[in-house]
Structure 1
Amino acid sequence: MSKGIVTRLRLSSLRLRLVVVFALVALTAAVAASGIAYWLNREAVLTRTQDGALNDFRQEMQNRAATLPLRPTQEDLRRTAELMATGSANYQVLLLGERDAGKPIVGASDPDDFTLADVPRSLREAVDTERPVTEANPYPYHLFWQRTERNGTPYLVGGTRIDGGGPAGYMFKSLAAEKADLNSLAWSLGIATALAVAGSVLLAQVAATTVLRPVHRLGEAAKQLGEGKLDTRLRVTGADELADLTRTFNSAAESLQKKVADMSAREESSRRFVADMSHELRTPLTALTAVTEVLEDEQDSLDPMIAPAVALVVSETRRLNDLVENLMEVTRFDAGTARLVLDEVDIADQITACIDARAWLDAVDLDAERGIVAPLDPRRLDVILANLIGNALKHGGSPVRVSVRTEDDELVIAVRDHGPGIPEEVLPHVFDRFYKASASRPRSEGSGLGLSIAMENALIHGGSITAANSVGEDGAVDGAVFVLRLPLDASGITREVQTRSSQGEVEEA
């Protein structure tokens, strides 16, 4: 399934849920209403047919069967049954009498259609049972009925007996016409239910569109707001809850735009202040640096009481000069004016030159193949290497090992030391500006900007730096590892690169 299809399904899930809920509610209501209507109509149809046939049969038994002699012949029974079956109720009749005691005879209106075998035994037993005559029960024999089925066709079977030893009579009426009517009614109710569900789905679509259109507009507006279009506003229509939600969104967007504008103004002011301050400090620092260089040259001839103070001034002046340079570099990154000046760089030669220039050859082991060349900014690569290796020498333990390899069109440079490692709570902050692992040493030699600047220079190349601890075979921490990853082909990065170091993001301008 493509990403576009997945997105459309995800966006339409609320619509789908609304449609399903509407359809289920409509289906439940329609099925319940249809079921009740069918049941009521079925009972009404069957009861009307049943009562009409049984009442007619009772009347016929009183009018015709009761006139038969005590010992009728089979012909008497047949003829009477035929006369009883010619009524409007349209049923078959079977009369059961006795020629002699214990010798039953049967007369049927249509022996091919209705025989004694079609009468359920339970019904015959109920008809033949004589009940005591009381005030509440004036008749010893009652009319009983039962619904049966033969070859898939429903029938009504009824029976009673004439008082005083008269014949028993049974009627057999087909309910096929009623069944057909009820089937037709069921089909009609089923079609009505289907139409109700289809109508509910259409109504759900309309309702979902009406409800979800403002929600979709709010979602699009929120997306634009998240993309930085802080002037996004929505037109408020109506006076319902969605209109209140739209007003709340507009109010929140306006408040957010104002706060972001205020923060941007303050950030720009702070950035300008740092840049101006750093620029203004460079002139006196240049003079101080010249003086300290002279004092350093004459340090051996100075009074021993003054020499320590002179050494302190020289070291602090250099530290202040490095801090100002770092601040200037940071402001260039923040202002988006940092640029790459690419050149074909032999990685092994570049690392060797960096180590040699700082007199670290005896403290650093280099494992790099010759001939790895990549288009990079040599100055910025030197800044990255100097900060990573210097940090390892200062805070780690010897020996410091620098290894170089290529991996999936990437240049990977790992700087590892054998010190105590980096505390777990410090790892997430090692690239933060002015962050120092020990709060008890706020005036340590470092400015807290070195690793941050190294990260910015890696990001401007389209790369990254990660920090982790190296674990030995015994499971103990055995130093820290910083891994620099840069693209082997950075020739496409030739324009100004905008960086947002506070979020660790890089964009090409």
Structure 2
Amino acid sequence: MTETAKRSLRAGLRWTSLRLRLVVVFALVALTAAVSASAIAYWLNREAVLTRTQDTALDDFHRQMQDTAAALPERSTKDDLQRAAVRMAGNSLGYSVLLVDERERGKPIVGYSDLDRFTRADVPDSLREQVVRKQAAASGEEREYRLFWQRTSLADTPYLVAGTRITGGGPTGYMLKSLDQERQDLNSLAWSLGIATALALVGSALLAQAAATTVLRPVQRLGDAARKLGEGKLDTRLVVSGTDELADLSRTFNKTAGSLEKKVADMSAREEASRRFVADMSHELRTPLTAITAVAEVLEDEADSLDPMIAPAVHLVVSETRRLNDLVENLMEVTRFDAGTAHLVLDTVDVADQVTACIDARAWLDAVDLDAERGMMVRLDPRRLDVILANLIGNALKHGGSPVGVRVRTEGEELVIEVRDHGPGIPEEVLPHVFDRFYKASASRPRSEGSGLGLSIAMENAHIHGGDITAANSPQGGAVFTLRLPRDAEKLARRDGPDDEDDRGGQGTRERNEDGAT
């Protein structure tokens, strides 16, 4: 999967996640509101339905007790109670009646309106106790019987049970009113409210989807534009429409992108001018430097025959001329890397032979302990590997002294070359900067034999291969530089042509490759 596809996938996941959060929030709000409203509506309707049915039945039963049961003779028979119960239940309200009287103490007689539906066993004991107990009158002087009721369930069917007794003597009456119809009506209401809640939830999700699309589409466009801007497409702009906050954000983005494009263009122009100046200057200096170097070498050959007072000056001129030549060559190489014109010229080489050739060409055989097996074939740019090794080994010899240990091995698809010296090591505060250009480890010694570009050039040559160089201190003492390169750099080779003559020459000289960055 390409990096662009990965970014698109991550962006899609973030976009979906934000949309999901908006939908969930809308749905939760709608669900909470709908459930609360439905619960309140159900509770209010339930109380209204039950209270209306209950009050109607109790009022009618109380009236029937006063009109029918109170008119019974003082010593009523079972038949009298039976007829009165049937008469009291014979109305449109559909409740059953039970009348209880005592001819003698402990010998009750009972009249039923419907023995199959309502018997004394159906009357709760708590209700029976309240009905037969006299209650204080409102005046507090007399005691009377009152109407009591309660809701109960018989065979999973809800019922209203009520009872009262005739004050001043008379039978005790009980009624049983089925609330099954009311339960069915309330169940239908609950289903209706549940469906309404579900519809509200679906509607809120659709509204959330529409709102999320309206809000997230400009945000997605802004994210895509910011991503393109980060990829270097500085001419990216947003189409602005509307006057809301997102439109203001788009305008701000366009202004920022325009300002950034202008500043980057200015910086690029200045950087290009600086690179051109360094390259032109380096090229212009090469011709006079070549002549001066030739003259200096002639003077060096004749130094022994010169006046002893003049000989040190000649040696100084020769040394500084070589340093200047070294600096010019390094600057040209750095300029190629900065301009992106440095290329790989690949070849299949034996690493052990390549390292040996690098050491032998600079007469370092006596100062280097090489640990490398022959037959390790890799595909890379031999000249650039020579530049890397010369800088690393030369830096180790200069700052750590001999012997310098060079160990070559392979790890999977990587070539690993370790260069270790036995010097004092690198200060911890210096380690992060050893590959910086012109970095000097000691501020008190800004002038040294090297140009301060050697390790930087080595790192650039490692990067162009797709590799890297790390610096660390060995627990046994001394500094260790580890070079890691792919064993096959074919995929990284640029196919736009071979290196030019300047890029191929001048980097194998001993003096320049001995240069170190610290």
- TM-score, normalising length: structure 1: 0.93
Report the CA distance shift for 1:331/1:132 in structure 2 as closer, same or farther (over 3 A).
closer
8 A contact 1:410–1:485 mirrored in 2: yes
C-alpha contact 1:337 1:496 (8 A) present in aligned 2: no
Which secondary structure does the structure 1 equivalent of 2:409 belong to?
strand
1:368 aligns with 2:375: no
Q: How far, CA to CA, are the matches of 1:463 and 1:348 in structure 2? A: 19
The aligned residue for residue 514 of structure 2 is none
CA–CA distance in structure 1, aligned partners of residues 64 and 80 of structure 2:
15
Counterparts of 1:118 and 1:137, CA distance in 2: 34
Q: Following the alignment from structure 2 to structure 1, what is the Cα–Cα distance between the partners of residues 377 and 110?
A: 118
| Between 220-229 and 106-115, the greater mean CA deviation after superposition | 106-115
Other-structure match for 2:181: 177
Does residue 495 in structure 1 map to residue 499 in structure 2? no
Q: Which amino acid aligns with 2:285?
A: L
The one-letter amino acid paired with 1:489 is D
Instruction: Determine which of 235, 249, 265 is the counterpart of 2:253.
Output: 249
Provide Cα deviations, 1:306-334, integer angstroms capped at 9, x if missing partner: 22222111111111110000001111111
Write out aligned runs for 1:23-422 (5 A). Answer: 23-135=27-139, 140-422=144-426
Contact 1:337 1:497 (8 Å CA) reproduced: no
Partner secondary structure for residue 158 of structure 2: strand
Aligned 8 A contact 1:432 1:452 in 2: yes
CA displacement at 1:399 relative to structure 2: 2.2
Native 8 Å contact 1:91 1:173 kept in 2: yes
Contact 1:22 1:200 survives alignment (8 Å)? yes
SS of the residue corresponding to residue 185 of structure 1 reads helix
CA distance in 2, matches of 1:16, 1:414: 53
Q: Distance in 1 between matches of 2:183 and 2:497?
A: 84
**Amino acid in the other structure paired with 2:139:** E
Partner letter of residue 128 of structure 1?
A: V
Determine if contact 1:433/1:448 at 8 Å carries over to the other structure.
Answer: yes
Which digits, 9 at most, give the CA deviation of each residue in 1:178-236, with x for residues without a partner? 00000000000000000000010011101000000000000110111111100000011
> Displacement of 1:425 after TM fit?
2.4
| CA RMSD of superposed structures (Å) | 1.9
Distance of aligned partners of 1:434 and 1:82 in 2 relative to their CA distance in 1, 3 Å threshold: same
1:398, CA displacement in angstroms?
3.2
**The 10-residue stretch of structure 1 (75-84 or 377-386) with the greater mean CA deviation from structure 2:** 377-386
CA distance in 1, matches of 2:489, 2:105: 121
Q: Quick check: 1:94–1:108 contact (8 Å CA) kept in 2?
A: yes
Amino acid at match of 1:213: R
Which residue number corresponds to residue 481 of structure 2? 482
Distance change (3 Å), C-alpha of 1:134 and 1:186: closer
Kindly tell me: are residues 497 and 228 of structure 1, through their superposed partners in 2, closer, same or farther at Cα, counting changes over 3 Å?
farther
Aligned partner letter, 2:351: I
SS of the residue aligned with 2:144? Answer: coil
- Find the residue that maps to 1:392 and give its secondary structure: helix
TM-superposition CA deviations, 1:82-139 (whole Å, max 9, x none): 1000012110000111112332211111122111111111111111111233426876
Change (3 A) 1:204 1:309: same
Q: Secondary structure at the match of 1:111?
A: coil
Deviates more, 1:381-390 or 1:306-315: 306-315
**Secondary structure in 1 aligned to 2:28?**
helix
Letter of the structure 2 residue corresponding to residue 109 of structure 1: S
CA distance in 2, matches of 1:52, 1:375: 102
- Count matched residues: 492
Cα distance, 1:374 vs. partner? 2.6
Kindly provide the amino acid, as one letter, of the partner of residue 440 in structure 1: S
Partner Cα separation in structure 1 for residue 99 and residue 424 of structure 2: 114
Structure 1 residues 99 and 410: CA distance shift in structure 2, 3 A: same
List per-residue Cα deviations over 1:400-435 (Å, max 9, x = no partner): 111111222222211111222222222222211111
Whole-Å separation in 2 of the counterparts to 1:345 and 1:464: 19
The secondary structure found in structure 1 opposite 2:136 is coil
The DSSP-based 3-state class of the residue aligned with 1:349 is: helix
C-alpha contact 1:397 1:479 (8 A) present in aligned 2: no
Larger displacement relative to structure 2 (352-361 or 4-13)? 4-13
Q: Quick one: which amino acid aligns to residue 414 of structure 1?
A: E
Give the C-alpha shift of residue 272 in structure 1: 0.7
Aligned residue for 1:431? 435
Name the CA distance, whole Å, in 1 between partners of 2:156 and 2:432.
81
Inter-CA distance 155–239: structure 2 relative to 1 (3 Å threshold): same
Contact between 1:129 and 1:141, CA under 8 Å: does it hold in 2? yes
Q: Which amino acid aligns with 1:107?
A: G
Shift of 1:396: 2.0
The CA distance in 1 between the partners of 2:149 and 2:485, in whole Å, is 96
CA distance, structure 2, for counterparts of residue 99 and residue 447 of structure 1:
132
Structure 1 gaps of 5+ residues are 473-477, 499-509
Q: Specify the alignment match of 1:456 in structure 2.
A: 460
Q: Cα offset for 1:368?
A: 0.9
SS state at 1:284 partner = helix
C-alpha separation in 2, matches of 1:317 and 1:21: 75
Q: Which deviates the most, 485-494 or 282-291?
A: 485-494
Q: 5+ unaligned residues in a row in structure 2: which ranges?
A: 499-518
Aligned-partner Cα distance in 2 for 1:131–1:489: 107
In 2, Cα distance between the equivalents of 1:14 and 1:367? 58
SS across alignment from 1:471: coil
Partners of 1:115 and 1:459 lie apart in 2 by: 101
Query: Which whole-Å CA distance do the structure 2 matches of 1:50 and 1:163 have between them?
Result: 23
Q: Percent identity?
A: 77
Q: CA offset at residue 373 of structure 1?
A: 2.8
Separation (CA, whole Å) in 2 of partners of 1:137 and 1:243: 83
Deviates more, 1:281-290 or 1:210-219: 281-290
Q: Which amino acid aligns with 1:31?
A: V
Per the TM alignment, residue 241 of structure 1 is displaced from its structure 2 partner at its CA by 0.6
SS in 1 for 2:238: coil
The separation in 1 between residues aligned to 2:126 and 2:347, in whole angstroms, is 109
Cα distance in 1 between the residues matched to 2:282 and 2:439 = 20
Tell me the TM-score normalised to structure 2 length. Answer: 0.92
Q: Residue deviations 1:333-381, cap 9 Å, x none?
A: 1112212222332222221121122221111101111122333322211
